């Protein structure tokens, strides 16, 4: 295809959703791709996540399946355990056909980033506005003009750049400015709890790691959920012997600065966490949490599902389209599958045009992502005890009720 026939897509946001979109459009062929990312460098932050088979298939189709296998571990089992008042664990639900893979966020992000041709991702570029214009291109098709400020520079006009595309993909996260423009005044929904998160390097903290492995014998292939009174925790292994954990705690909405949902823990908060862990969890998990350096706190939010993701030649993907709580391991998976679905629609509807492709994407993703957002919300409320009588016991509950803890229920929710 000649240069004049190339279409151009401007992707706003260089997180996993945005990089996945870059891969999807390159796979579709006939597209020039630029990704605009505010951060000035590739981040090594984050924690663990789980990828489902559909996401793994997408990554494989983009040519990075082998890299994923090297950077991840299997999660073939989900196990939910109830913790009694004596801090003893009782298995209440188990799924041995879970079929996910565990990977660290930064490892997956770097895998996607390094597999792109040089120059596609423009770091240090903050989008400040966009505008759609009708019938101005050489083929009289609509175009989107995106104005960008270089983060490292000044605010003068020489620091402002403009990118013009046939399509703008908004992958700008849960606090998306693009979504805000189309839904002014929309508020995110606080879940009622926050999550402490940490990753223990099992190779250096061998004593704590060894203790945990004795009582969580399927680490390396199992996603563990421990449920205590009004709270629950998550534990699984990442490559390199790293142990990823989360602990969800019901509390009032914290004071947050700007658009961040992350709170840095001070010494007082850490001391309280360590003390409460020793009263709540099996001793080995409490020791793991106490041995982890620099755990951090995420306030947990989602938003009400949207009925549309497309406005003209502007389309939402990932957390911009459907911010979700983490309980169904859906955030990253939905982002990757959004990108994959959009790329396939662009390719499949090549003759019908961009607008037909966007309609196909929207029709395939709006309802299914709404279901997943609402199921994740439900599952979090269930495991946090927010939907249960005060003296409810998972240990004595019948098997049908226990099975409601499993993520396999998502598609029938």
Please state, in angstroms and rounded to a whole number, the distance separating the CA atoms of residues 219 and 235.
Answer: 8
Please state, in angstroms and rounded to a whole number, the distance separating the CA atoms of residues 355 and 401.
Answer: 45
What is the phi/psi pair of residue 88, to 5°?
A: -100, 140
Number of residues assigned to the chain? 413
User: Could you tell me if 222 and 74 are in contact, meaning their C-beta atoms sit under 8 angstroms apart?
Assistant: no
pLDDT at 290: 95
pLDDT at 108: 97
Burial of 318 (0-12, 13-18, 19+ CB in 10 A): buried
Please state, in angstroms and rounded to a whole number, the distance separating the CA atoms of residues 282 and 288.
Answer: 10
pLDDT at 45: 75
pLDDT at 385: 96
Least confident of 1-15, 73-87, 90-104: 1-15
Please state, in angstroms and rounded to a whole number, the distance separating the CA atoms of residues 319 and 173.
Answer: 5
How does residue 1 score in pLDDT terms, banded at 50, 70 and 90?
very low
Give the model confidence (pLDDT) of 215-229 as tens digits.
999 999 999 999 999
pLDDT at 203: 66
Give the model confidence (pLDDT) of 7-49 as tens digits.
999 999 999 999 999 999 999 999 999 999 998 888 767 788 9
Give the model confidence (pLDDT) of 348-363 as tens digits.
998 899 999 999 999 9
Farthest CA pair distance, the chain: 72
pLDDT at 158: 62
Give the model confidence (pLDDT) of 140-152 as tens digits.
789 999 999 988 6
Inform me whether the pLDDT recorded for 130 exceeds 60. Answer: yes
- Classify the C-alpha dihedral 352-354-355-356 as positive or negative: positive
């Amino acid at each position: 295809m000649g240069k004049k026939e190339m279409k151009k897509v401007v992707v706003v946001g260089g997180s996993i959703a945005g990089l996945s979109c870059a891969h999807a459009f390159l796979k579709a062929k006939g597209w020039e791709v630029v990704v605009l990312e505010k951060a000035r460098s590739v981040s090594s932050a984050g924690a663990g996540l789980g990828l489902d088979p559909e996401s793994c298939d997408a990554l494989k189709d983009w040519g990075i399946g082998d890299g994923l296998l090297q950077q991840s571990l299997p999660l073939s089992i989900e196990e939910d355990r109830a913790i009694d008042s004596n801090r003893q664990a009782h298995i209440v639900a188990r799924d041995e056909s879970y079929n996910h893979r565990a990977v660290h966020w930064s490892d997956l992000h770097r895998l996607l980033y390094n597999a792109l041709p040089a120059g596609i991702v423009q770091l240090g570029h903050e989008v400040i506005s966009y505008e759609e214009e009708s019938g101005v291109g050489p083929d009289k098709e609509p175009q989107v003009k995106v104005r960008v400020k270089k983060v490292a520079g000044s605010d003068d006009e020489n620091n402002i750049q403009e990118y013009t595309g046939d399509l703008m993909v908004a992958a700008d996260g849960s606090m998306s400015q693009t979504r805000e423009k189309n839904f002014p005044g929309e508020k995110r929904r606080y879940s009622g709890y926050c999550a402490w998160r940490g990753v223990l390097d099992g190779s250096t903290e061998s004593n704590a790691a060894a203790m945990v492995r004795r009582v969580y014998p399927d680490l390396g292939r199992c996603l563990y959920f421990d449920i205590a009174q009004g709270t629950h925790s998550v534990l699984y292994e990442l490559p390199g012997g790293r142990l990823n954990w989360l602990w969800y705690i019901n509390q009032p909405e914290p004071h947050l600065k700007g658009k961040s949902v992350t709170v840095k823990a001070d010494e007082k908060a850490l001391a309280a966490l360590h003390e409460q862990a020793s009263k709540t969890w099996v001793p080995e998990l409490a020791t793991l949490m106490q041995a982890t350096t620099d755990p951090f706190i995420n306030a947990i939010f989602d938003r009400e599902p949207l009925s549309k993701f497309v406005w003209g030649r502007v389309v939402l993907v990932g957390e911009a389209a459907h911010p979700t709580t983490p309980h169904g391991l859906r955030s990253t998976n939905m982002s990757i599958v959004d990108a994959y679905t959009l790329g396939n629609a662009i390719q499949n509807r090549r003759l019908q045009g961009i607008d037909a492709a966007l309609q196909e994407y929207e029709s395939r993703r709006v309802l299914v992502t709404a279901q997943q957002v609402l199921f994740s919300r439900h599952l979090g409320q269930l495991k946090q005890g927010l939907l249960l009588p005060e003296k409810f016991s998972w240990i004595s509950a019948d098997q049908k009720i226990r099975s409601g803890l499993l993520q396999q229920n998502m598609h029938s929710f």
